[in-house]
Structure 1
Amino acid sequence: GAAKLVVVVAIFLLTFYVISQVFEIKMDANLGHIFARSALDAAARPTKPPRYKCGISKACPEKHFAFKMASGAANVVGPKICVEDNVLMSGVKNNVGRGINVALVSGKTGEPLDAKFFDMWGGDVAPFIEFLKSIQDGTIVLMATYDDGATK
């Protein structure tokens, strides 16, 4: 029993040695190196790509605001305005409408000041003009259209 087991193990090891020599397989038998290398490899590879504010492709420099805007698609998908990872206007928030959608942001702090939409197709233009006149200096104005921005 035991002699057969020793012979089988010896044949297995000899076969493994011959195969490793023929195919030039380099063996690192030091378990400490094997475990240390696998831990370093796992730490070196990021598990997922980094996420930047508002889903933009790269990080903004210091003292800059990250923002992303997308106008609506016909009358199906509403516009989306995001500043500093804060979605100011979107169809999900249900604060967008047909026409011109406007979000105001403080140019100093990046804090949202106001968000409104103006129907330029069937509505009056006067409220939009008054709104634009009331905007303070140093305010960032972000605009996106939805459906039709104005009459043909």
Structure 2
Amino acid sequence: MSEVMWDRGVEWLAAAATDPRVCKREWDQGEGIALLEAGRYWDVLSVPDRLGMLALDLLWQSSRPAPGPTLVDTAAHRVGFFLPPDPGSRWIGAGLRHAGRGSWVAVPPPYRSARFVEWLVPPDGSGFLHAPVTLELALRQANGTLAVLTPLCDA
């Protein structure tokens, strides 16, 4: 990613902070993670890591545009997909967690990981996010694949 894209990604993410300057200072001088409120510029759908990694792989393989911003938390074993804010959204499924208005998300800067959180697809500052319908289809396909593979792994 070019330096201009990093800068745009930083500004785009920091705009979700209560104080963008404090957010950027936390990224550079603090723990490297800022708590950003979901629901204004984006929501986050967090899924178990096996499901999320397989879904992201499916999204990369499709003929659609590149996937939107995606985080992985290796300590929590979760993958977070950034979606357009939708207060009426109802994501239902085992292990799915939807962070919308009133929820806070731990986010590193787009240019490096922090603690156990890192970007699989960093934001480029354009505001491009995962399309909910496209993500849902990838998650359904990934879930079907995992359902077939899990009995083989348990054998």
Using CA pairs below 8 Å that are at least 6 residues apart, which structure has the higher relative contact order? 2
User: If the TM-score is normalised by the length of the shorter chain, which range does it land in?
Assistant: under 0.3
So what's the TM-score if we normalise by structure 1? 0.22
Instruction: Considering fraction of residues, name the structure with more helix.
Output: 2
So what's the TM-score if we normalise by structure 2? 0.22
